[in-house]
Chain A
Amino acid sequence: MSDYTVVGQTVARVDAVEKVTGAAQYGADVHPPGMLYGKIVRSKQAHANILSIDTSEAEKLPGVKAIITQDDVPSGRRVFATDKILYLGEPLAAVAATDPDIAEEAAELIKIEYEVLPVVQDVMEAIKPSAPRLHGDGTKDGPNRREIATQIRRLTRDKENDHSDEISKLEAELENYPDEVYYNISAESHSDAGDIEKGFAECDVVVEDTYVIPRVHQTYMEPHVSVASADSSGKVTVWASTQGPFAIRSGIAGTLGIPLTQINVIGTTMGGGFGGRFGVIITHVPAVLLSQKSGRPVRVQMTREEEFTDGRPAPGCVIKLKTGATNDGRILARQALAFWDSGSVSGASIGSTIRVRGVYKIPNLKVDAYGVHTNKSGTAAYRAPGAPQAIFAGESQLDEIAERIGMDPVKFRLMNMREEGDPIPAGATEPKVGYKETLEAVADAAGWWDREAGENQGWGVAVGDWTNGCGPGGVYVAVHEDGSVRIFHGSMDITGTDTAISQIIAEILTVPYESVTIRRGDTDSAPYSTGSGGSVVTFTMGNTAKLAAEDAHQRILELASERLNMNVDNLELRDGEVHVVTADPPKSILLGELAAYSLSTTGGPIVGKGSFARQASTPALAAQIAKVEVDPDTGRTRVLKLVASQDVGFAINPMAVEGQIEGGTVQGYAWAMMEEMQYGEDGNINPGFVDYRVPTSADLPTVESVIVEVPAPNGPYGAKGVGEPPITPTLATMANAVKDAVGIRVTELPIKPEKVVQALQSNGH
């Protein structure tokens, strides 16, 4: 047991009452007087040239106050499509009207003439020369061509010697790889370690497979929304549902050429984000433009259908993976070639392909990844961006190897896991981490070692790693004359982080959690804060809060020293009072008394300041075990048990940490078993909850969470960011469980019943 009294304890969250009474104010709840309702006009084609946009009919509709197109963007930065449409639902114009139904009517009255172009939705088709191009050719060499081309370049550079023979030989070799000229490429990423050829040559078992992971939507429950109000002086106020108000401020400034000082972004209570709520143009910029044009506040709110067609979901990808090991269970080599579907813009998480290395000592590694353009909306982060996809491939293939060499999947993983001081393939050196502890914890909790399985039942295990990010933040803390503590900062609460900050400050100032209040400022008032994504908040703001509280703590001791005429070394803050350590009889002064006294001192009130930007983070592991039962007739998989452990460093609020583990695990389950954004010639074809099924309470059993605490040296009280890791292993956990149950290895997600039935039938069932 720790000596802490507030951190490490489960407490009700600071926003508890407002969240259960409907008082919390989300974006769509903001309604300034005179507000208009905005509606974005969207493309009804997935790939087309725009011939004309005619707004004249819409303008005549009573109640319409403003219509904007790209012509209304003074900076010229692309907000609306002008000449070419790249996906269904791409914004073309926007309308503001006195009523949401009028705005919708007006949007439908805007006439667009298109010249329809051929569409490409599949990444493996898009890289072929026959594919329609989205942004010119965008050709890149595949891994073999790339290597040969690099050699040619190197030899050509050497002017001192004649390499012409070698060069022409290499050029001839290029011809061996005609399919390795990839088209529609938006980005590429390559890394390696060791000698991949040599590594595979030393293996007894080599397994090769292609994994296909679908594009899925973050599906935060609150659709994107913003309310903008531009006043006559040019000042713009934006109430934004976002993970990063400061990023939205600079994004609006950059897009529209407005000075930062003229923009105030007020972050509204966020109805889920999961990485998908950082976009600037999505609703915020159209709302500002409409407000500037109409001279009235305007709310732009997406519908759920718009979320699916023009949200920024997680990218799907195709990963060709090859792994080799020795018969005694040592993984020696792994090679990946990945194609990420980045949609109409670049930016899919291609760099995350490296996560196929997992947490294992793989001496020889080669990873080549490409982002590929298709006629879909762009993508964004979704909870550990890119990791669930790469880890699905890596952890699925690990089980195939374990099976072939006849080793228990947990033992196989434990044997290959990196330990402190081991080199990370294509990375630095492993710090002290809890990989083995976390896997052992889930195995013990799930009953892995004496597991039993009935007919068509099976067990699956997988692990996933992630490291929280870090960024700048600032916190002020003030102590008032009643002894209460007030916190002020600018970071968006991401389901419990304000509570963690409050707990940390209460701990240091030795006051009850209940006497602390926390307030978030807007970008006009609060110190800069990094966006609430990448599991950064507890790590960053926790450290910042600690510094602020320690600053206040110092001032408190100074004041007490002055007031009691005692040396600071002889004073101690404990239980909300400053005690004179050596006094007999005991002597102390209450925090509130000191705060009151401070008001008439030269030094002034108790105000602590914390400012922080960067410290090295420590990786975290999530390990999960599922027991499932597959109905061979219907192909339906029922989860009988789902246990999730995670190395969280230190759980500042255990109930909130469990909530993150449970929620992330279920999102991973959904990606494995049910979710998939589907696209046809016309674009997204399942833009609603009937066709894009997300799990409900009826789909799942209780998720059992197991907290493992291996402290992070730089985390507040050892805490690591906890939000992202739990989604990373679940895709493979489920696939491995289904394989164990009925012998079917599903490499293409989601594991829909029809896929299982088909596979069983072709296996002769």
Chain B
Amino acid sequence: MAKHHVNLKVNGDEHDLLVEPRKTLLAVLRDTIGLTGTKEGCSTGDCGACTVIVDGEAVTSCMVLGVTASGKEITTIEGLAGDGELHPVQQAFINTGGYQCGFCTPGFIMASKALLDENPNRSEEEFRHALGGNICRCTGYTKILEAVLKAAEEIRTTA
């Protein structure tokens, strides 16, 4: 299959790639660039495990073709911690026990980060609904919500 030239900026690094048009952004991130922190849980956009941030917006990368992401700025779970410091959302997931098997965690953290960037002043109920596109099978969500609320508080107080 003919490949197309794609330029992606992922976690600050430029990648010039030749990509088949049928490859998803998820496949490009994982198989071509080798950033395997983003997970594939359903391949149909329903579980949110593959959530990354594209130009500031959380998207399920299994539902985006790699070629359509050309020229865009992408942040994956690997790009979240900076200068040896975890992002407040990452730290909150650790402190509250907001993960168990960890497979959905990168997607949850990216979805939460996008929500918090947009507006950290949400109620628990609002966060519960806003995170409804991500499935976790281990935690029952109680500690995930606790983590997101804690991160929101941290972000509000340091902002």
A binds B: yes
Binding site for B on A (CB under 8 A): 10, 12-13, 15-26, 28-29, 31, 100-101, 218-223, 269-274, 303-304, 495-496, 655-656, 658-659, 662-667, 688-690, 694-698, 700, 702-703, 705
Ranked nearest first, the 4 interchain pairs of A and B with the lowest CB-CB distance are: A22-B37, A271-B103, A666-B140, A19-B102
List 10 additional contacts besides A222-B39, A269-B101, A689-B135; criterion CB under 8 Å.
A16-B94, A21-B77, A23-B78, A29-B30, A271-B103, A272-B103, A656-B97, A659-B97, A696-B133, A697-B141
Residues of chain B in range 80-118 having any CB-CB distance to chain A below 8 Å: 80-81, 86, 90-91, 93-97, 99-106, 109
Instruction: Determine how close the nearest CB of chain A comes to the CB of B7; give it in whole angstroms.
Output: 22
Q: Tell me if A663 and B22 are in contact (CB < 8 A).
A: no
Q: Which residue of A lies closest to B131 (CB)?
A: A697
Residues of chain B in range 19-49 having any CB-CB distance to chain A below 8 Å: 20, 22-23, 27, 30-31, 34-44, 46-47, 49
Q: Tell me if B42 and A688 are in contact (CB < 8 A).
A: yes
Give the CA-CA distance A271 to B39 in the complex, in Å: 10
Q: List 29 A-B contacts (CB under 8 A).
A: A13-B94, A16-B94, A17-B86, A19-B99, A20-B77, A20-B94, A21-B77, A22-B76, A31-B36, A221-B39, A221-B104, A221-B136, A222-B39, A271-B102, A271-B103, A495-B101, A655-B143, A658-B97, A659-B100, A662-B139, A663-B137, A666-B141, A667-B137, A689-B42, A690-B46, A696-B131, A697-B134, A697-B145, A700-B140
Flag whether B9 is at the interface (Cβ < 8 A).
no
Give the CA-CA distance A22 to B36 in the complex, in Å: 7
Chain B residue total in the interface (Cβ 8 A): 61
Flag whether B144 is at the interface (Cβ < 8 A).
yes
Q: Tell me if A21 and B78 are in contact (CB < 8 A).
A: yes
Contacts of A700 in B (CB 8 A): 140-141
B97, B100, B109, B132 — which one has the most chain A CB atoms within 10 A of its CB?
B97
Contacts of B93 in A (CB 8 A): 20
Instruction: Determine how close the nearest CB of chain B comes to the CB of A721; give it in whole angstroms.
Output: 15
Q: Tell me if A696 and B42 are in contact (CB < 8 A).
A: no
Q: Which residue of A lies closest to B101 (CB)?
A: A272
**Given A28-B40, A221-B41, CB of A101 within 8 Å of CB of B135:** no
Contacts of A659 in B (CB 8 A): 97, 100, 138-140, 143
Binding site for A on B (CB under 8 A): 1, 20, 22-23, 27, 30-31, 34-44, 46-47, 49, 76-78, 80-81, 86, 90-91, 93-97, 99-106, 109, 127-129, 131-145
Q: Tell me if B20 and A101 are in contact (CB < 8 A).
A: yes
Q: Which residue of A lies closest to B86 (CB)?
A: A20
Contacts of B134 in A (CB 8 A): 696-697
Instruction: Determine how close the nearest CB of chain B comes to the CB of A63; give it in whole angstroms.
Output: 10
Q: Which residue of B lies closest to A25 (CB)?
A: B36
Contacts of A273 in B (CB 8 A): 101
Instruction: Determine how close the nearest CB of chain B comes to the CB of A37; give it in whole angstroms.
Output: 9
Q: Tell me if B128 and A698 are in contact (CB < 8 A).
A: yes
Q: Tell me if A663 and B42 are in contact (CB < 8 A).
A: no
Q: Which residue of A lies closest to B77 (CB)?
A: A22
Q: Tell me if B101 and A271 are in contact (CB < 8 A).
A: yes
Q: Tell me if A690 and B140 are in contact (CB < 8 A).
A: no
Q: Which residue of B lies closest to A301 (CB)?
A: B40
**Given A20-B86, A696-B132, CB of A655 within 8 Å of CB of B39:** no
**Given A21-B90, A688-B46, A689-B44, CB of A28 within 8 Å of CB of B139:** no
Contacts of B109 in A (CB 8 A): 20
Give the CA-CA distance A689 to B136 in the complex, in Å: 12
Contacts of A665 in B (CB 8 A): 140
**Given A19-B105, A21-B78, CB of A702 within 8 Å of CB of B145:** yes
Give the CA-CA distance A508 to B91 in the complex, in Å: 29
Q: Which residue of A lies closest to B139 (CB)?
A: A663
Contacts of B97 in A (CB 8 A): 10, 13, 655-656, 658-659
Contacts of A695 in B (CB 8 A): 141
Give the CA-CA distance A665 to B27 in the complex, in Å: 34
**Given A17-B86, A663-B140, A698-B129, CB of A690 within 8 Å of CB of B44:** yes
Instruction: Determine how close the nearest CB of chain A comes to the CB of B46; give it in whole angstroms.
Output: 4
Instruction: Determine how close the nearest CB of chain B comes to the CB of A561; give it in whole angstroms.
Output: 41
Contacts of A17 in B (CB 8 A): 86, 94
Give the CA-CA distance A22 to B43 in the complex, in Å: 19
Give the CA-CA distance A144 to B142 in the complex, in Å: 48
Contacts of A21 in B (CB 8 A): 37, 77-78, 80-81, 86, 90
Contacts of B138 in A (CB 8 A): 221, 272, 495, 659, 663
**Given A270-B101, A659-B97, CB of A26 within 8 Å of CB of B39:** yes
Q: Which residue of B lies closest to A20 (CB)?
A: B90
Contacts of B132 in A (CB 8 A): 696-698
Instruction: Determine how close the nearest CB of chain A comes to the CB of B86; give it in whole angstroms.
Output: 7
Q: Which residue of A lies closest to B110 (CB)?
A: A22
Give the CA-CA distance A456 to B142 in the complex, in Å: 26
Instruction: Determine how close the nearest CB of chain A comes to the CB of B89; give it in whole angstroms.
Output: 8
Contacts of A29 in B (CB 8 A): 30, 36
Contacts of A222 in B (CB 8 A): 39, 41, 101, 103
Give the CA-CA distance A496 to B138 in the complex, in Å: 12
Give the CA-CA distance A522 to B95 in the complex, in Å: 30
Give the CA-CA distance A20 to B109 in the complex, in Å: 8
Give the CA-CA distance A688 to B44 in the complex, in Å: 8
Contacts of A304 in B (CB 8 A): 41-44, 47
Instruction: Determine how close the nearest CB of chain B comes to the CB of A160; give it in whole angstroms.
Output: 63
Give the CA-CA distance A227 to B2 in the complex, in Å: 28
Contacts of A656 in B (CB 8 A): 97
Give the CA-CA distance A219 to B41 in the complex, in Å: 10
Give the CA-CA distance A703 to B145 in the complex, in Å: 11
Contacts of B142 in A (CB 8 A): 662, 702-703, 705
Q: Tell me if B80 and A303 are in contact (CB < 8 A).
A: no
B100, B129, B143 — which one has the most chain A CB atoms within 10 A of its CB?
B100
A18, A218, A271, A495 — which one has the most chain B CB atoms within 10 A of its CB?
A271
Instruction: Determine how close the nearest CB of chain B comes to the CB of A328; give it in whole angstroms.
Output: 39
Give the CA-CA distance A2 to B66 in the complex, in Å: 56
Contacts of B94 in A (CB 8 A): 12-13, 16-17, 20
B41, B77, B80, B93 — which one has the most chain A CB atoms within 10 A of its CB?
B41
Give the CA-CA distance A24 to B23 in the complex, in Å: 24
Contacts of B128 in A (CB 8 A): 697-698
Contacts of A22 in B (CB 8 A): 35-38, 76-78, 106
Q: Which residue of A lies closest to B94 (CB)?
A: A16
Instruction: Determine how close the nearest CB of chain B comes to the CB of A314; give it in whole angstroms.
Output: 13
Contacts of A666 in B (CB 8 A): 139-141
Instruction: Determine how close the nearest CB of chain A comes to the CB of B116; give it in whole angstroms.
Output: 15
